Amino acid sequence: MRNAVIIQTQVIASTNLAAIPLQQKFSVSAIATFTVNDAAGTLKIQVSNDAPVGQQPEYYTPSATSWVDLAGATVTVASGAVAIIPKTDVCYQYMRLVWTRSGGTGSFTVNTNVQGF
């Protein structure tokens, strides 16, 4: 079993972070930290089962266009608090994190831990 930590940093604006291929992965968790205390919004995981492009897992190109919110993987952030999406099972081709801003400034960093073989 292997853990992969993926770190993504983004300015505080509504955005879709980069797609993460999930081949041979079975669970994920995420923690977001903010550079300012006034950040507000929602952070959620979206998943896709669109077919990958490429012949071997390490060469897959994220090509997903159909995204769906993963039930139970949404957290509301107020006053720049640390946001935690607890361990969640994933059996999909791709995932991405979506930040929807409702207030605040600055940037945030998301540490995503993906477990798999």
- Check pLDDT > 90 for residue 107: no
pLDDT digits (tens, 9 = 90+) for 73-89: 999 988 777 889 999 99
For 59, the 3-state DSSP assignment is helix
Residue range of the domain that includes 75:
2-116
pLDDT, position 15: 84
Residue closest to 117 by CA, chosen among 8, 5, 7, 22: 22
- Which residues, other chains included, contact 25 with Cβ-Cβ below 8 Å and sequence gap of 6+? 4, 90, 114, 115, 116
Q: Please give the Cα distance from 102 to 117 (Å, whole number).
A: 37
- Check pLDDT > 80 for residue 113: yes
Domain count, the chain: 1
Q: What is the mean pLDDT of the chain?
A: 82
Upper half-sphere CA count for residue 83 (Cβ side, 13 Å): 31
pLDDT digits (tens, 9 = 90+) for 50-79: 877 665 555 555 678 899 999 999 999 887
For residue 9, what are the β-bridge partners? 109
pLDDT, position 65: 86
pLDDT, position 58: 55
pLDDT, position 45: 94
CB 34 within 8 A of CB 101: no
- Check pLDDT > 70 for residue 25: yes
pLDDT, position 56: 58
Residue with token string 């995420």 = 30
Region of residue 59 (phi > 0: left; psi between -120 and 50: alpha; otherwise: beta): alpha
The CATH code of the domain that includes 29 is 2.60.120.380
